[in-house]
Structure 1
Amino acid sequence: MILNGMAMKVRWAKQEELTGTIRGFSELFQNDSELLIENVKTTYRVLRVNEKLFFPVTINDKEWDNSFVCSPYTAYANYSKDEIKWKIKNKVVKKLLLLLLNIIAKWLRKGEIDKNIHINNFLLSTNPFPEWDGKEIEAITAFIVSEYPDHAIIFRSLNEYQHRSLLDLFKANGYDCIGSRQVYIFDLSKEAWLKHRNNKHDNKLIKRSGLQLINHEGMKDFLLQALELYRKLYLVKYSKFNPQFTLKYFQDCYDKKLVKFQGYVDEKGSLKAFSGVFTIDNTITSPLVGYDTDMPQKEGLYIHAAQLAILNKFETGLLLNLSSGAAGFKRMRGGQPSIEYSSLYLKHLSRSRRLRWQVLKTLSNKIGVPIIKKYKL
């Protein structure tokens, strides 16, 4: 294929061609994905573009109970049901919303919304992108359509702050961009960060707590406790449709140094808070977080966990995407709000399937995103 005057080579990568983090994740998912994430059933491959660009790819058909990290159906239907259950207090309103959502869910399933390919999918809540100018988008699209003509093509985790030019290029290449949530970007100096009064308060609270900081090397013996804290926060407090990571996943990520773990331990040797940071090129994320949700909020254990990721940003000089949630907390500590989008290529699909996505696009971009911005969610 010749595009823009140069030959574009797009193909599936061989394992021996991979290096670094891409190789590590590919080794993790060579076998059954459910051994690593209990609620993720997917086919995992790696796309090679030209000489040095590699994207992890997940391929799905109709795994309706998958985590939202590879299931749009779960993101728009299953996860939304859980959010209604824990956020809406009025019983009548809650019942009506769940009834409406069940109707929408059936309509989405009929439109095969989970028949898709996610590109650059590390199966994390936030997938950082490599430094990429997007010039290969057309070639990648043509290759995937030729390989999987019945699958939607999805690039998740594109935010306005980092990826404005990429989003424009996706639109220019026939992609639809659907708003999903608001993430918080930390792209400031430590000096500017310390000017926020809340950060000074946090530092005093952490010092006063007397908890012992454990570095990555020391976390080896605390991985089971870390997993338990993650599960209590994300699966029990929020939704079972968050990724259900296993101990094998935590251990493999630790051993391969794919995730940098740090935590805080009390005088009894009990892990009270932890953060696992993941880095691709110039972007840090913190997909693995947990703290003892049974402790009073005044203990500030969430502050302990969140600040670990922020301090990693200052140690490395990289940009931190601290994902969504806890909006007020992140804003008051220097987080820059940015709407996150998924870019989808649908032109090769049937009109009926495209219609589902167009409705979701309208609901998300015309209603959801304005609400997110207005209420600073």
Structure 2
Amino acid sequence: MRSLHPMTSQPPAAQFKQAGAPGWTDPDAAEFVGRLQALGSHALVANVEAQALVEQAGGHPLPVIVTDGAIGMSYVAAPHSAYALYPRAELDLVDLGWMRIPAGAAIAAADRLLRSLDINRAVQIDNWLLSTCLHGDWKGEGLAELRQRLAARFPGHYLLIRSVDDWSCPELTAALRGDGWLLLPCRQIWVTDDLERDWAVRKSVKNDGRKLAQSGLVVEDVARLTNADAARVAALYAMLYIAKYSTLNPQYSPRWMQLAVECGLFHLRVARDADGQIMAAVGIVARGGIATNPMMGYDTQRPQSDGLYRIASWLVGDFALRQGLRLHGSAGAGHFKQQRGARSEIDYMAIHAAHLPATRRWPLKGIAAALETLAVPQLKQRML
């Protein structure tokens, strides 16, 4: 694993502590799935109930998550939650003005239709139970053979691949289109092409770095997560993503945090106070020349003037810059990310249903068309 080397982005007064010369490698799919099988998904992610297996595609080992239709799980394992329950929850957080009533009606219609299609009965390929599943060096090799194999083994399930877009995985996206998969628009995501050019030079980024330098916090790249630290990281994550945002976000346990570090699912960076207490933590996935942070947490009970969200975000950008990676900023906090050099793209969920009855297949085409016609232009308008 490659160690992190100082670069000009590091604030001069900040302290960095490295444990075991951490860096990044591709996560181990077999170990990840083995842990899920041994402990059970529910013990690791409280709002996910699924089976897990490893499949090969063109020499790439891929984790496959199989769900049997339950409603109400986290969107990382339930497309119904991604397209109905989560948007419904967001209606209470966003001021849409006169659009609120038609948006609510559209979400209610999508809710009913997706339930009738049993959309959560699905086989989800290369799904790491993260908000963003980077696909690394898999460019779609062996896709058709994998599709045929899984459709034969699970004849009543949809086949899904999340986090598909023309920015992070253009070859895979093209392969999916060529193999007849339907691409449903899913999210507006924020991406940074060149951290040195687009991120490090920003005044807001330099201010974030100064905030860290003035905080007295010590940044540590964690190679081994103790039980106490795992509990703290899980609690910080829950303060932000579960308590503040939505219970439909994955509800990770302390054991999940340890699994993620041990099997290389993500690289963990934390910021500790003078007593050694973790005040902010980020889990960074790095695959195929791209970094993303599907896990972030900080002590939301601290005053906003402490700038812990800014510090946590800076830790992600700093990692990507040091490693020479592009940055996939996932969804949300668009204005904050734009100020730090990000631009917008559209993220898709790929679905294959040719092996299913027409009654479960054809309505998806209507949903995809409606999303492209109504949702995508709205999202693109927000990009400007």
Deviation of 1:217 (Å): 4.4
Please give the per-residue CA displacement for 1:194-224, whole angstroms capped at 9, x wherever unaligned: 2222212222222122222233148634222
Deviations 1:41-88 (A, max 9, x none): 0110111124x3111111112111211111111111221221112324
Deviation at 1:40, TM superposition (A): 0.5
C-alpha spacing 1:108/1:231, structure 2 compared with 1 (3 Å): same
- Correspondence for 2:262 among 252, 255, 276: 255
In the other structure, the counterpart of 1:310 is: 317
Taking a change above 3 Å as real, the CA distance of residues 267 and 215 of structure 1, as seen in their structure-2 partners, is same
Runs of at least 5 residues in structure 1 that lack an aligned partner in the other structure: 1-18
3-state SS, counterpart of residue 139 of structure 1: helix
Q: CA deviation at 1:189?
A: 4.4
Helix, strand or coil at the partner of 2:337: helix
Letter paired with 2:323: T
For structure 1, which segment, 167-176 or 185-194, has the greater mean C-alpha deviation from structure 2 after superposition? 185-194
Any idea what the Cα deviations from partners look like across 1:123-157, whole Å, max 9, x if unmatched? 11000102133242222222222222221111110
8 Å contact from structure 1 (residues 69, 123) kept in 2: yes
Q: CA deviation at 1:270?
A: 3.3
User: Would you say the 8 A contact 1:129–1:283 is kept in 2?
Assistant: no
Kindly provide the CA deviation profile for residues 297-349 of structure 1, in whole angstroms up to 9, marking residues without a partner as x: 33321111111111111222233212111111112212232211111112222
1:229 and 1:290 in contact (8 A); partners too: yes
Relative to the length of structure 2, the TM-score reads 0.85
1:119 paired residue number: 125
Q: Report the Cα offset of residue 99 of structure 1.
A: 6.3
Point out the more displaced range, 92-101 or 293-302.
92-101
SS in 2 for 1:48: strand
| Pair 1:237 & 2:215 matched | no
Which residue pairs with 2:185 in the alignment?
Answer: 179
- Listed as ranges, the matches of 1:37-56 within 5 Å are 37-50=45-58, 52-56=59-63
Structure 2 unpaired stretches of 5+:
1-25
Do the aligned residues in 1 keep the contact of 2:29 with 2:61 (CA within 8 Å)?
yes
Tell me how many residue pairs correspond in the alignment: 357
Q: Is the 8 A contact 1:150 1:349 kept in 2?
A: yes
**What is the alpha-carbon distance in structure 1 between the residues aligned to residue 249 and residue 28 of structure 2?**
23
Between the aligned partners of 1:101 and 1:185, the Cα distance in structure 2 is 27
Does 180-189 or 152-161 show the bigger shift? 180-189
Structure 1 residues 334 and 108, CA, compared in 2 at 3 Å: closer, same or farther? same
Q: Which moved more, 1:209-218 or 1:226-235?
A: 209-218
Question: Structure 1: how far apart are the matches of 2:51 and 2:113?
Answer: 25
Moved more, 162-171 or 123-132: 162-171
RMSD of Structure 2 on Structure 1 (CA): 2.4
What is the rounded CA distance, in whole Å, between the counterparts of 2:170 and 2:70 in structure 1? 32
Q: Describe the shift of the 1:68–1:38 C-alpha distance in structure 2 as closer, same or farther (beyond 3 A).
A: same
SS of the aligned residue for 1:143 comes to helix
Picking from 306, 309, 312, the partner of 1:299 is 306
Letter in 2 for 1:46: V
Match of 1:366 in 2: 373
Aligned identity (percent) is 26
Identify if the C-alpha distance between structure 1 residues 141 and 200 changes in structure 2 by more than 3 Å, giving closer, same or farther. same
Q: What letter matches 2:352 in structure 1? A: Y
Q: Which range moves more in the overlay, 330-339 or 291-300?
A: 291-300
Distance 1:20 1:242, change over 3 A: closer
TM-score, with structure 1 as normaliser:
0.87
- Report the Cα offset of residue 359 of structure 1: 2.9
- How far apart, in 2, do the equivalents of 1:200 and 1:320 lie? 17
Equivalence for 1:210? 216
| Pairing partner for 2:173 from 167, 173, 184 | 167
Name 1:197's counterpart in structure 2: 203
Q: Deviations over 1:138-184 (max 9, x none)?
A: 22222222222221111110122122333222122111111111222
- Contact persistence 1:46–1:57 (CA under 8 A): yes
What is the correspondence of 1:1-377 to structure 2 with a 5 Å cutoff? 21-31=28-38, 32-50=40-58, 52-88=59-95, 101-190=107-196, 192-217=198-223, 220=226, 221-376=228-383
Q: Secondary structure at the match of 2:37?
A: coil
Structure 2 CA distance for partners of 1:35 and 1:269, relative to 1, 3 Å: same
